[in-house]
C-alpha cells in the first residue's frame, strides 16, 4: 500500500481494456491514476503535470512508445519521472531499445498483478 500522500501515475495505452484494468489495479493500491489513449496528448499533459511514474505501451497508433520516449529525451522532460514500459511487444531488442531510451524497466503483457505492483512500488517509493 502507498503512503498517505498519493503518488500520481500516468497510464498511456491505446487499449481501453488495458487502461481500465490498470486503473482498477493501481487505484486499489492507493495510487492516483490518469489515463491517456494517445501518446501525443500525453506529451502535452506531461509538460503541464508532474507524474511520479508513467506506464507506457509500445504499440500505439500515431506516436509509438519508442517515439514518445525519444521525444521526452529530446525535450529534456525525461528524468523528472521514471517510465515503466508495459507491452505485449516482447523481444530482447525492444527491451534493450526501451532501456536505451530511458525506460526504468519493461513488463510484458499479460501482466502478473502481484509482480506488477511490486515493480511499481519499487520504482515510485
Low-confidence ranges of the chain (pLDDT < 70): 1-4, 76-79
Asked, for residue 3, whether it belongs to a domain, the answer is no
Full residue range of the structural domain in which residue 53 is found: 8-124
Q: b/e per residue, 62-85, with b = 16+ CB within 10 A?
A: ebbbbbbbbbbeeeeebeebbbbb
Give a yes or no: residue 53 inside a domain. Answer: yes
| Assigned domain for 2 exists | no
Residue 1 domain flag: no
All 3 cell numbers of residue 45?
499533459
Residue 83 within a domain:
yes
Q: Where are the alpha helices (DSSP H) in the chain?
A: 16-28, 39-48, 65-75, 92-100, 113-124
- State how many domains the chain has: 1
d(CA 104, CA 72): 14
Mean pLDDT rounded to a whole number for the chain = 90
Q: What is the pLDDT of residue 4?
A: 42
Residue 32: give its domain's CATH number: 3.40.50.2300
Quote the pTM value: 0.91
Amino acid at each position: 500500500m502507498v503512503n498517505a500522500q498519493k503518488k500520481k501515475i500516468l497510464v498511456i495505452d491505446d487499449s481501453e481494456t488495458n487502461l481500465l484494468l490498470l486503473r482498477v489495479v493501481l487505484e486499489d493500491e492507493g495510487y492516483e491514476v490518469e489515463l491517456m489513449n494517445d501518446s501525443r496528448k500525453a506529451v502535452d499533459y506531461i509538460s503541464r503535470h508532474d507524474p511520479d511514474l508513467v506506464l507506457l505501451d509500445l504499440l500505439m497508433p500515431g506516436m509509438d512508445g519508442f517515439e514518445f520516449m525519444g521525444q521526452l529525451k529530446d525535450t529534456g522532460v525525461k528524468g523528472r519521472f521514471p517510465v515503466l514500459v508495459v507491452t505485449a511487444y516482447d523481444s530482447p531488442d525492444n527491451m534493450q531499445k526501451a532501456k536505451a531510451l530511458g525506460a526504468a524497466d519493461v513488463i510484458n503483457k499479460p501482466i502478473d498483478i502481484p509482480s506488477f505492483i511490486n515493480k511499481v512500488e519499487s520504482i515510485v517509493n
